Amino acid sequence: MFILNNGDRFFLLHYGGQSAVGLYALGYKFGTLISMFVMAPFLQVWGAMMIPLAQKENAGEIYARVFTYMMFLYLWVGLGLSVFSPEAVRLATDPKFHSAHQIIPLVVLAYLFWSTTNLGDTPFYVKNRTAVKPFLLGAAAVVNLALYRWLIPAYGGWGAAWATLASFAFFAVLTRIVAQKIMPIPYDNRRFLTMLFVAGLLYAASRAVSGSMLGLAGKVGLCLVFPLALYALGFFDLRERQKLQELYQQYVLRRQTGEPRVEDHPVERAD
């Protein structure tokens, strides 16, 4: 775990010096914000939920839906962080650190795969097969070290970011393969790849938007397009579309009537 999350700093310090480490560490911290403030709190709750859910007949379907919904949330927030990474770094740091924003999208993508691993190892806990996890971590660490040695001397911080992304992706795929043999879960890979493609396309579009106020508005628009584009592509199934329509109708009704939400009413005690 230490090698996977911190080993790159030692290689960067050796081959690039303290300034390279400082720039990379700053971009890395920004890139891990989603994992820290979105995924980490959820995983603390999920750890207590996954075992009881395993008793349900449709446990596999529930696990798959939780995976899809959390990846949707991660990618939407991650898209926003990546799109606004130049502005965020400029607001938070001195000019000499502004170039750190360049690696943020790669770190965001790397921790997307890290998050898929954290969600995808549910079978290890449900089936009491956690002893396999150190071997998977060890294999990922070996790949990680090899990539650090290969990429960082030649490409510095960029090499460290790409090495992190590649090794985390390898860890995610390896975990999925082994976990599926222990407990098959019907993940919808098409939906995951659709989300990843749309997010990547919108991020690429944001690179063409200027840094002016119009550019900022355009970036906000691109982030808001993400769920709409998925809807247009048929990402949401019938049950999800019906739920979204129901929520939208309730919202419109409240706006028209000015009625408070149900939870806004005081709870009366029934004696």
Give the number of domains in the chain.
Answer: 1
Tokens 């691993």 belong to residue: 117
Are 199 and 78 in contact by the 8 Å Cβ rule? The answer is: yes
Is 178 domain-assigned? Answer: yes
Greater model confidence, 44 or 209 = 44
Residue 269 lies inside a defined structural domain of this protein: no
Q: What is the mean pLDDT of the chain?
A: 89
The answer to whether residue 150 is domain-embedded is yes
- Choose the weakest-confidence range: 76-80, 115-119, 143-147, 214-218: 214-218
Within a domain: residue 268?
A: no
Domain-located, residue 57:
yes
- For residue 13, give its domain range: 2-259
Going from the C-alpha of 94 to that of each of 24, 90, 97, 98, 143, the distances in angstroms are 15, 7, 6, 7, 35
> From CA 112, how far away is CA 40, in angstroms rounded?
12
Query: Within a domain: residue 252?
Result: yes
Position 118 in a domain: yes
| Residue range 124-148: mean pLDDT, rounded | 95
| pTM for the model | 0.88
* Exposure on the CB side of residue 201, measured as CA atoms within 13 A: 10
Task: Give domain status of residue 270, yes or no.
Answer: no
Residue 270 has pLDDT above 70, yes or no: no
